[in-house]
Structure 1
């Protein structure tokens, strides 16, 4: 059965990733695009053959032919959009960060629970093909017990001015970039984050924002593994998207910017897997959105429920406190008493 989609947002991520991906999914049909201005909503809708466009979020998500609300707007709109979707009985997909704060994310999850709807957290990193293959190798014991994980995510400048306004974005490079790195590290450590330290600075964009443009986080997991996250808006002239997993019997390196050549070094030999595949597939968005719609249709758990996004925000808030106090912080536990 075809799912009717309302895409909330018409910026870079909507037009570069989500709208193209939905156009490739057989049982998905985008029926409305909502944006801040009629011009941007109409432009995105016409580009992707979407029949309706609007600036009215509430009425658009409540339309009878909408089943799923895909939130690809700035973070200050995430909670409102998900709450409106839940009130209308619609499932929601929300890009990272789930909210600007843990409190906002909790509001979203509470709204979904009351309504009996679902909230999927659109974190693409675990859906990247090279990351998935690396995880299979780790789970197969190819590099022994994982004890260190590292992620580097950096850009030179955010793609829109709203990122520099903490009221709209919620923060700086930690909330925008480190959420990816935290989830990568958690995914491979396969354990909750117990404590975190952080060093933050604003070195490049201090004339445009009070938020940090550079961050280095260290994570300690419940199983003893160590994680390191290097994230920035300050990487002049280049991007960075590299991951490393170190085990007792080998290591894995992934360079996401070269369509993910995957290098595995272990006692069984050394391999490199070049993956010359297009961006939508290489970055995991097509697989991620397909997976969400399949999970919704079958009623099965997804690999990235909204609760995962809440857990990442708990780590983010602990990291910000650690940077402010200069002391390692314990990550708050969830309602079941388990760290993020």
Structure 2
């Protein structure tokens, strides 16, 4: 039995946490964990010196330039894996060897085969695995689920979901070049379908049960080496709902606008996530956007907590995971859920590729 498990059983309820990767989302997790009662962020790791400095200012006790060194040196209860996707498997395997539970950023892996390898390592190391499918924790998405489950709109024959953002390129003017890995199919595993669609698959199965993918199409709206647009048609047999999903990383985010749309077309009415936004969302988002613009001029840290709408979702997702391992329970969004979203993405990719080949065949024959 690992020292971390022994401490959890014999010591106080305080959990010792390390954050592997403290770029933008890693800093969100670090600050969220630091704000939780009975959670100590003892260490953070990142290959970028500036990120390590930010982590230290945010409260990490120690920093490392290598996540493997952190896992070897620290006595942790849990680690947040906020590294690029191509490092997820190695980080989880090393954490399993150290007996450290892991909370992994989405996509959980780059493929179901890689996910299986990670889950096997976790089982052998007897560690818990959680996945950060944050959308299901956003107040507007929670509002949709609650409204749907109360039955007020009756049967829902059709639903649609759209998720758009500006991807790795960012909105101009851009001060620094984008990271290379999001535009590398091998490193990222895919484009917008894997980056954005993964979240949507999770939410839609959370709402409607198992999905069957009927058709899919992907495309490159911009001149990039991964797809930046994808459209998927699905059916939920349990609820007899037809669903359209579109995701893309070709549209600049324009705060305080929300870049996720979810609509359920019921027999007696429509449920929309826009009807469940917090009353103060637009004011908070606009204030945060102005603060972040000013930080680019002054070189101060951007407010990764704002708007609080998004902070609440990230905070709740991590808090749920940590509370589960504190109580010795299975994480509410576990590695199998993460694997399932990858399975759906792979099916969509296969159908899109098949459609492309069928469309190309007549041209080849002529």
Query: Is TM-score (shorter-chain normalized) higher than 0.5?
Result: yes
Give the aligned partner of residue 140 of structure 1.
Answer: 150
**Correspondence for 1:229 among 242, 245, 270:** 245
Please list, as runs of the form range in 1=range in 2, the aligned pairs for 1:46-57 lying within 5 A after superposition: 46-57=56-67
Shift of 1:99: 0.3
Comparing 23-32 with 273-282, greater Cα deviation is found at 273-282
1:197 has 2:215 as partner: yes
Tell me the equivalent position of 1:210. 225
Distance 1:103 1:87 in 2: 20
- In proportion to residue count, which structure has more helix? 2
TM-score (normalised: structure 1):
0.85
CA contact (8 A) 2:212 2:236 kept: yes
Whole-Å Cα distance in 2 between the matches of residues 228 and 275 of structure 1?
Answer: 30
- Distance in 1, matches of 2:124 and 2:214, equals 33
The residue that corresponds to 2:85 in the other structure is 75
Cα distance in 2 between the residues matched to 1:303 and 1:144: 27
CA displacement at 1:81 relative to structure 2: 0.6
Structure 1 gap ranges (5+) = 256-260, 264-272, 328-340
Q: Which string of whole-angstrom CA distances, capped at 9 and with x for unpartnered residues, describes residues 93-138 of structure 1?
A: 0011000111111111111111111000111011112222321222
Could you say which residue in structure 1 is the equivalent of 2:272?
Answer: 253
Listed as ranges, the matches of 1:1-340 within 5 Å are: 1-15=13-27, 17-37=28-48, 39-158=49-168, 160-161=178-179, 162-189=181-208, 191-204=209-222, 206=223, 209-223=224-238, 224-236=240-252, 238=254, 240-255=259-274, 261-262=275-276, 274-276=279-281, 279-282=307-310, 284-326=313-355
User: What is the CA deviation profile of residues 212-238 of structure 1, one whole-angstrom value per residue up to 9, with x for unaligned ones?
Assistant: 011111112232312221111111464
Partners of 1:73 and 1:280 in 2: how far apart? 23
**1:248 and 1:299, CA in 2 relative to 1: closer, same or farther beyond 3 A?**
farther
Report SS of the residue matched to 2:320: helix
1:275 deviates by: 4.9
Cα contact 1:193–1:219 (8 A) shared by 2:
yes
Distance 1:196 1:97, change over 3 A: farther
Distance in 2 separating the partners of 1:288 and 1:53? 24
Unaligned runs of 5+ in 2: 1-12, 171-177, 285-305, 357-366
Structure with more strand by fraction: 1
Q: Which has the larger radius of gyration?
A: 2
Report deviation, 1:310.
Answer: 0.2
